[in-house]
Structure 1
Amino acid sequence: MKQYKMICFGEVLWDMLPTGKMPGGAPMNVGFHLNKFDFQTSIISRIGTDDLGNEILSFMNKSGLNTEFVQRGQTHLTGVVKVNLDDSNEVSYKIVQPVAWDYIKVDPKVLDSVKKCDAFVFGTLAARSEETLHTLKEYLKIAPFKVLDVNLRPPYYNQETLSYLLDKADVVKMNHHELEEISAWYFEATSTNQRIEMLSKTFDIPTICVTLGADGALLFTKGKFTQCSGIPVEVVDTIGSGDSFLAALIKGLIQKQDETECLNFACATGAYVATQKGATPIISETQIKAWAKP
């Protein structure tokens, strides 16, 4: 069986919850779950030389992630995000800036790995800073299969940068609120399907996946739509639910699974993680499939 190699680029940080801190950052969360799905996964990020940096590096290493591309710096602290859980279904975030991951530098030693990886996963939040965006652009020039994870966190995005990232992506994942906001920048549309089709055409994106909250998700690929209904669960919190969904979706797309099977598994994964505390509960493909059986 082919050993796939994944690279996740962007923020690595601590989610500061009322109950304590938990490791996070969308790219790291996606990488964590890809690794649990038996994909070799490397993280490209930057953390401080502070205690929080030491702790999160230890967590990633113990989780089986390859951290050789995680940079350390003394000038800026390891990233933190203050998480508000007043509404478990709509988590809000206060993201500290500037922090270490705003200064990810181009590393010549990384270039060959980026060229040879099976999927290069990146998000919109890391593009908020000039230096990290410059580095991301250099890697996007050579990455063979690019997966964009849209996370619109005001005020850390703009139309110009997002247009650039959309134009480079082979796969884009976003939620339905983000789809409405982004599509309104470029065209008028009356339905979710129409917005997806027009966005795909505008930026020549082969695959777009839109999560619909409790209503599941919609996948557009090969010119056709596939929909998965939501799985009713008792939500503990939604932190990392979308990230685990994306990891499962990437797994299915890379392994060329049937679209319905791929999307159903991704929805089940995201739903299960929403029943757990935090973004990185340990899961497996066998466990998710057994849990999701009717």
Structure 2
Amino acid sequence: MTSIAPAVAPKIVCFGETLFDLLPEGKQIGGAPLNVAYHFHQLGGLSSIVSRVGRDALGAELIQFVRENGLDSVALQKDDDLETGTVPVTFLNSLTPTYEIVSPVAWDQIEVNDAARRAVSSADAMVFGSLATRTSQNLKSLSSLLIDVKVRVLDVNLRAPFFTQSQIEALMRQADIVKVNDEEIHLIGKWYNWSGTDEELLRELYESLELKAAILTRGKNGAALMDSTGLHEHPGFKVTVADTIGAGDSFLAAFLYQYLRGVVPQRCLAYAGAVGALVASKTGGTPTYNESEVQAFLNAAKTNAKTVDQTY
């Protein structure tokens, strides 16, 4: 796997939605790009967020959260007309959330300005997802910013009804690394008339798009990675799940934190799986933890050598 090993802490910039999840027990700050930025910083990296909030109480609270948690807010824009994004969340069962993503909101109108360009040009990688490109404004802004990016990372993160096949195909063609879950890889496989196992579909994705890496998360069956050195798999970690909000985002953040430091693929997967499982064992998408807690989790898993049944 081709990787970058910066002399200082690696830096990512995340483009897209910043919002509040409106849970039954109250509101929580979220949005996949913000979650990835938060977790990357929790682990020791540097994070910047390119997004937009309203000039309202929720926007002020979100900006305060970003700053208090050590994320670079210089490219976090304010909108005079649209409100800060909200997403009412309900649960199909005790673990599985469903989302009602309000539209239009401030993060639908992200602009390209000097602050955004500086954030992107100084980063080792840029993370983006499909949801933020539900508007032509954001799609235009993203395409402009991707020109200056060292490593372009797409978290497919499909959210109906805010995607089309042509939209996802175009985004994948602009990426160096693509992350999908087990449902998304099968949908993409149908689009291209691919067939076979998850691993075979992952190889098709990697080879057809000429990616640096393709990552597959598959719930209780762990995670897999395809890169120039071949297929790598990790079965995951057994945890008692509090909820799954932000677990996939923390997995991606942890993977990138290792990848950008030149860590070998198998260790990237193990570390990312540990962080995802640790976050799933906590409530909410942005729980507090640190690198020492992750290492303790990994050491305990090695010692106990339990049968694996959960990862993200």
* AA at the equivalent of 1:4: P
Q: CA deviation at 1:108?
A: 3.0
Q: Paired residue for 2:100, among 76, 89, 94?
A: 94
Q: CA deviation at 1:187?
A: 2.3
* AA at the equivalent of 2:8: K
Percent identity (aligned): 37
* AA at the equivalent of 1:184: K
- Shift of the 208–110 alpha-carbon distance from structure 1 to 2, 3 Å rule, reads same
TM norm structure 1: 0.97
Q: Paired residue for 2:260, among 244, 254, 257?
A: 254
Q: Paired residue for 2:248, among 242, 256, 263?
A: 242
Q: Is the CA contact (8 Å cut-off) linking 1:253 and 1:262 kept in structure 2? A: yes
- Aligned partner of 1:201 in structure 2 is 207
Aligned alpha-carbon RMSD (Å): 1.2
- Aligned partner of 1:37 in structure 2 is 43
* AA at the equivalent of 2:37: G
- Aligned partner of 2:307 in structure 1 is none
Q: CA deviation at 1:86?
A: 3.3
- Aligned partner of 1:130 in structure 2 is 136
Question: How many angstroms apart in 2 are the aligned matches of 1:234 and 1:271?
Answer: 9
Pair 1:229 & 2:247 matched: no
Question: How many angstroms apart in 1 are the aligned matches of 2:115 and 2:274?
Answer: 37
Deviations 1:226-285 (A, max 9, x none): 111121211110000000000000011111112111101100110111111100011222
Q: Paired residue for 1:164, among 154, 164, 170?
A: 170
Pair 1:47 & 2:65 matched: no
Question: How many angstroms apart in 2 are the aligned matches of 1:80 and 1:39?
Answer: 27
Deviations 1:64-111 (A, max 9, x none): 111010000121000001111232443211100010000001113322
Correspondence 1:272-291 to 2 at 5 A: 272-291=278-297
Q: Is the CA contact (8 Å cut-off) linking 1:33 and 1:283 kept in structure 2? A: no
- Aligned partner of 2:308 in structure 1 is none
Question: How many angstroms apart in 1 are the aligned matches of 2:202 and 2:253?
Answer: 21
Q: Paired residue for 1:23, among 19, 23, 29?
A: 29
- Unaligned 5+ segments in structure 2 are 1-6, 302-312
- Aligned partner of 2:272 in structure 1 is 266
Q: Is the CA contact (8 Å cut-off) linking 1:116 and 1:144 kept in structure 2? A: no
* AA at the equivalent of 1:285: E
Give the secondary structure class of the aligned counterpart of 2:196.
Answer: coil
Question: How many angstroms apart in 1 are the aligned matches of 2:295 and 2:224?
Answer: 20
Question: How many angstroms apart in 1 are the aligned matches of 2:244 and 2:139?
Answer: 27
Deviations 1:160-211 (A, max 9, x none): 1111110111111111001101121012211111111111122111201110
Q: Is the CA contact (8 Å cut-off) linking 2:206 and 2:227 kept in structure 1? A: no
Q: CA deviation at 1:37?
A: 1.6
* AA at the equivalent of 2:92: D
Q: Is the CA contact (8 Å cut-off) linking 2:236 and 2:270 kept in structure 1? A: no
* AA at the equivalent of 1:129: T
* AA at the equivalent of 1:142: D
Question: How many angstroms apart in 2 are the aligned matches of 1:160 and 1:117?
Answer: 28
- Aligned partner of 2:123 in structure 1 is 117
- Aligned partner of 1:214 in structure 2 is 220
- Aligned partner of 2:158 in structure 1 is 152
* Number of aligned positions between the proteins: 294
TM norm structure 2: 0.91
Pair 1:73 & 2:73 matched: no
